[in-house]
Structure 1
Amino acid sequence: MPTAPRPAAPAPPPTAPSLTERRKAETQLEIARTAAALFAEHGTAVTADDIARTAGVALRTFYRYFRTKEDSVAPLLAVGVRQWLADLRRLAGEPDGPPVRDVLEQAARQALTPSDERAAEALRWTRGLLRVMRDDPALRSVWHRVHHDSEEALVPVLAGMTDGGPLEVRLAAAAANTAMRVAVETWAADDAPDAPEDGPAELVVRGMRALTAGLSGLDRRRA
């Protein structure tokens, strides 16, 4: 029979990753950087053995972390997503901050504006990867999976920021995520020399404004 709801127990504090987990993540990311660079330079002819050898790990180590050669680029693609969500949470936590719409734009712009040379290099590798993906369904599948996961992760973040209902929150997450994806894809496909207005940071803001224009809940913050 139904019972009265009980207060939820307080959530335990987050546990810091262990040294083993951190080393595993670092190894995965280093393999991902190597794979992205090789794919960008040599295309789909790259093999798992090529990636493992260039990254300085045994092939069995490679397959301990990744099922396929295409899966190996996922950690690199996910880095930008994690940074975007981290910036969004930080901006959302600022008291008396701007409307959600402005927070989304600011976090997206920051995520696609490299803060150092390593970040700029990762963005260049992503551009090369996206060009290779046009002829590789398996790589495209990894790209879309990363963005699907980012959209799911974005929903609870937005739900805590806006007083919009579940539908509006889902639409906002889908719109913001799509703006990020399409901005990077459009930038990657452009063979012309880069102009500031055609960079991914500017493209994502334009896309975000177009796709979220009808979502009035983004004009205010949850009290």
Structure 2
Amino acid sequence: MRSPRPYSPLPGPGAQSLTERRKAATQLDIARAACALFAEHGPDGTTAEDIAHRAGVALRTFYRYFRNKQEAVAPLLATGGDTWRALLAEEHPGTPLAEALERAVTRSLSDPTAVGEGLEVTRGLLRASATDPALRAVWYRVNQDSEEHLVPVIARLAGPAADPLAVRLLAAAATDAIRVSLEVWSETDTPPTGPDSPAQLAVRSLRELTRGMDILSGR
């Protein structure tokens, strides 16, 4: 039997064929089912068969997209990064990068969809990952993928004269600012909005991690 390929983010909707959109929709349905079952029974109490049944797909369809039950949550975890990169891409080249990054981070983590569902799901998964190395590995891989996809977005905003090393460092810092903020927030019962919310923590982290970077100051 051929080994399934690991999940990787698909191109934006405008670049997808109908078949790709259907595949992406199926992956997201499976991810939502996995997250719901993990919340109800924990990763240890959930099987791939359970997830497939909840998602309304055959078990072979599940394994067509994912190697194991933990990987099934990747598409849902990736939506936050997809959203914030899309918002950052809306900024005009030449906009001060510090402003652009903070605005995109704040908008993405304050979005009604993120506040209403995404952040609480992420909090539950991060808590579960504390005792599940495979789930934690998925979280880190999703963030690595997000960082790699962020590089060309920042490069476009920074302009052709930008130092490639500085662009890479900024992409890493911005990704880690969000990752660490979500991890810290997930350890608390703080609401997803207001003081010490993910949006506030991410902006604070972003400022700390990017303080003094030439690419932000325009030097």
Alignment TM-score, normalising by the size of structure 1: 0.85
Aligned pairs for 1:28-177 (under 5 A) are 28-45=27-44, 46-92=46-92, 98-116=95-113, 120-162=116-158, 163-177=161-175
SS at match of 1:109: helix
Per-residue CA deviations over 1:114-150 (Å, capped at 9, x if unaligned) read 324x762122111100000000000000000011111
Q: Is 2:13 the counterpart of 1:17?
A: no
Per-residue CA deviations over 1:166-185 (Å, capped at 9, x if unaligned) read 22111111110100100111
Shift of 1:100: 0.6
Contact 1:41-1:128 at 8 Å conserved across structures:
no
Range 203-212 or range 155-164, more displaced: 155-164
Counterpart CA distance in 2 for 1:119 and 1:193 is 9
Query: Considering only CA atoms, is the larger Rg found in Structure 1 or Structure 2?
Result: 1
Counterpart CA distance in 1 for 2:179 and 2:137 is 13
Identity between Structure 1 and Structure 2 (%): 55
| Other-structure match for 1:26 | 25
Deviation >4 Å, runs of 4+: 192-195
**For this pair of structures, how many residues does the alignment match?**
204
Which 5+ residue runs of structure 1 have no aligned equivalent?
Answer: 1-13
| Other-structure match for 1:8 | none
Counterpart CA distance in 1 for 2:24 and 2:193 is 35
Which 5+ residue runs of structure 2 have no aligned equivalent?
Answer: 1-12
Shift of 1:216: 2.5
Alignment TM-score, normalising by the size of structure 2: 0.86
The code of the aligned residue for 2:99 comes to: D
The code of the aligned residue for 2:215 comes to: G
Counterpart CA distance in 2 for 1:119 and 1:34 is 19
Counterpart CA distance in 2 for 1:87 and 1:192 is 25
Shift of 1:15: 6.9
SS at match of 1:174: helix
